[in-house]
Amino acid sequence: MQVGPSPSGDGPVPSSRRGPSDRPLTERQVDALDRASRGQTHKQIARGLGIDVKSVGKLMTEVFRKLGAQNMPHAVWLACGAGILQPGRRHGDHAGFAAHRYRGEEPCDACWEGERAYRRERRAARKTNAA
Ligand SMILES: [Zn+2]
């Protein structure tokens, strides 16, 4: 059985084939792209994912390669078109948290934070009303 896609040589596979690759993005890659699409810097993404900034760069390179994207806006546009990112979807508040739950997902960090803030506010409001 022959190993490798190129029968004529040992060079790298030509990158002429543009467009979405058949390998889907990993959950972490989607998460990073989603954060980037919401304006987070690599530093913020690194903190959110619990990895270092260098790893975020590598993650993004892989995302671009898989999507066939030239840059970040292109990657976001392609991901929206492919249904990987949901443009109307909210994160970081109670509605975003509820949407995760509705889809049977574990809410992302931003939504957990938003949900906690929401619950604090509700508790504070109840206390005020009771007084
Ligand atoms: Zn979320």
Query: Residues 8-59: pLDDT tens digits?
Result: 445 444 444 445 556 789 889 998 998 898 889 999 999 999 999 999 999 9
For the entire predicted model, the pTM comes to 0.56
We find that the CATH architecture of domain 1-87 is Orthogonal Bundle (1.10)
Minimal CA–CA distance to 97: which of 87, 112, 119? 112
Domain boundary assignment for the chain: 1-87, 94-130
Structure-token match 């949901």, residue found = 86
Rounded distance from Cα 118 to ligand 1 centre (Å): 14
CA of 16 to the centre of ligand 1 (A): 35
State how far the Cα of 111 lies from the Cα of 97, in Å rounded to an integer. Answer: 5
Give the pLDDT confidence score for residue 54 in this predicted structure. 97
Which residues, 6+ apart, have CB-to-CB distance to 97 below 8 Å? 107, 111, 112, 114, 115, 118
Are the CB atoms for 37 and 79 separated by under 8 Å? yes
pLDDT tens track for 81-116: 888 888 777 778 898 899 889 889 889 888 899 999
